[in-house]
Structure 1
Amino acid sequence: MARFPEQIQNLIDDFNTLPGIGRKTAERLVFFVLKQNAAYIHKFSGHFEQLSAVNKCQECHNFSFAQTLCSICDDPKRDKTILCLVEEHHDLNVIEETDTFRGLYHILGGVLNPLEGITPDKLNLQNLIDRIKKNKVTEVILALNPDMQGEATIMYLNKFLQPIPGIKITRLARGLPMGSDIEYADEVTLANALSNRREVN
């Protein structure tokens, strides 16, 4: 027998599917929402409805409400000759918050992890070479987490991109501790890591 009415239990189950949200936390979140007025609940649910209109940028795979390009790829002021490869969308946002990078991005959608079945064909590499050639890219920055999976992906991408003539392949400087996540780096550390990036050997 369910502890709560079906409608409430369904919402608890939905919150429970989110990363880092256990059963008790899911219940607390739902109870918080239930205590709010109807206007708050309507606005809150409306934000979820709006997410159904989100598309993926055809160039970098970033989230976008436009049909083709995200606001970054569509910005004529961005330097199209520098391309920064990141693992996920939140890594892009963290780098943007440093306000030091004016190039374009390419979201891989993960890093190599054979134990979890993430092989090169699972990454967003299909249009990467075309983007590099089309935009006459001169530098590719591998802005991946300095952990085992990130290092393995950097090694693979370095070999994958080496045959392309005229590009420099760099990585973030060692200001980021081994095993850390870009997502949790402070803006100063990340800005320094970008500014002092070095070529991949």
Structure 2
Amino acid sequence: MSKLLQDAVAEFAKLPGVGRRTALRLAMHLLKMDEGAVEQMTRSIYDFRHKIRHCELCNNLSDSERCPICSNPERDHSTICVVEQVGDLMSIENTHQYRGVYHVLGGVISPMQGIGPSELKIDMLVEKVASGSVREVILAISTSVEGETTLYYIMNRLKQYPMVRLTTIARGIGFGDELEYVDELTITHALMNRREVVRQE
């Protein structure tokens, strides 16, 4: 195999979910593409990598300081859905059933990986709730051990705000499942049947 082709295949294979066979198909397809289309693809990837930023309000990916969701006056800004990653946000958005805003943590608490509360956007969430403009916080976090740890940590941080309704999505989602990989119908059901958190004193 050509060294140049091998290098291209190796780079494609670094992408999640792309095996060497798929990487080879992608490389061969790239070779057949119009040169202008290849240049446009390269430019788009470069711009995405170097110009994308995080929304100053919710930590979602954005082209500007505030993402389209946080900038939309028709969204219910008093309801915040807390998710681990941007992919989870996109999965919920694809259901077209949720009209509130989001808060992206950037991960979950995982001592084994050296990720503590300070590495996540938890303080930013608490500040929003403390502002007094939030009525409900929906905790849409995975049911993995790390997810549950994060869930209870946030619940403990927010228990001093009794006027804010704390809810979790219905647990029809399997243990350890990430929202990003759950179908839209299941996510819709989980949101519609969310349950209120019993606060511990």
What TM-score, normalized to structure 2? Answer: 0.88
Report Cα offsets for 1:28-53 as digits up to 9, x if no partner.
Answer: 32222112221221222122122022
One-letter identity of the residue aligned with 2:101: L
Match 1:121 to one of 115, 118, 123: 118
Aligned 1:96-115 pairs, distance under 5 A: 96-115=93-112
Give the alignment's TM-score, normalised by structure 1. Answer: 0.88
Question: How far off is 1:13 after superposition?
Answer: 4.1
Task: State the one-letter code of the partner of 2:197.
Answer: V
Sort the Cα spacing of 1:115 and 1:49 in 2 relative to 1 into closer, same or farther, 3 A. same
Which residue, 16, 39, 51 being the options, matches 1:42? 39
**Partner letter of residue 86 of structure 2?**
H
2:69 alignment partner, one of 61, 69, 72:
72
Change (3 A) 1:43 1:135: farther
Does 1:84 pair with 2:81?
A: yes
**Does structure 2 conserve the Cα–Cα contact (< 8 Å) formed by 1:81 and 1:135?**
no
Instruction: Give, as a single letter, the amino acid of the residue that structure 1 aligns with 2:157.
Output: F
AA partner of residue 33 (structure 2): Q
Deviations 1:16-71 (A, max 9, x none): 332233455434322221122212212221221220221110010111111x1000
Residue 120 of structure 1 and its aligned partner are, at CA, apart by 0.9
Contact map agreement 2:141 2:147 (CA 8 A) in 1: yes
Identity of aligned residues (%): 38
The aligned runs of 1:1-201 (5 Å cut-off) are 4-5=2-3, 10-51=7-48, 52-66=50-64, 68-134=65-131, 136-201=133-198
- Tell me how far apart the structure 1 counterparts of residues 87 and 145 of structure 2 sit (CA, whole Å): 19
Kindly state the Cα deviation for residue 5 of structure 1 after the two structures are TM-superposed.
Answer: 4.4
Q: 1:22 & 1:91 partners in 2: Cα distance? A: 24
Contact 2:126 2:157 in 1 (8 A): no
Q: Which consecutive unaligned segments of at least 5 residues does structure 2 have?
A: none
Give the conservation status (yes or no) of the 8 Å contact 1:80–1:135. no
Structure 1 gaps of 5+ residues are none
- Relative to 1, partners in 2 of residues 1:186 and 1:22: Cα closer, same or farther, differing over 3 Å? closer
Cα deviations by residue, 1:80-126 (Å, 9 ceiling, x for unpaired): 11111000001001101111111110000001111111111111123
User: Distance between the aligned counterparts of 1:155 and 1:53, measured in 2?
Assistant: 35
Count of aligned positions: 197
Is the Cα–Cα contact under 8 Å of residues 136 and 167 in structure 2 kept in the other structure? yes
- Give the secondary structure class of the aligned counterpart of 1:121: helix
Q: After the TM superposition, which of the residue ranges 172-181 and 72-81 deviates more from structure 2? A: 172-181
Give the Cα separation in 2 of the matches to 1:61 and 1:172: 21
Following superposition, the deviation at residue 159 of structure 1 comes to 0.8
Letter in 2 for 1:157: I
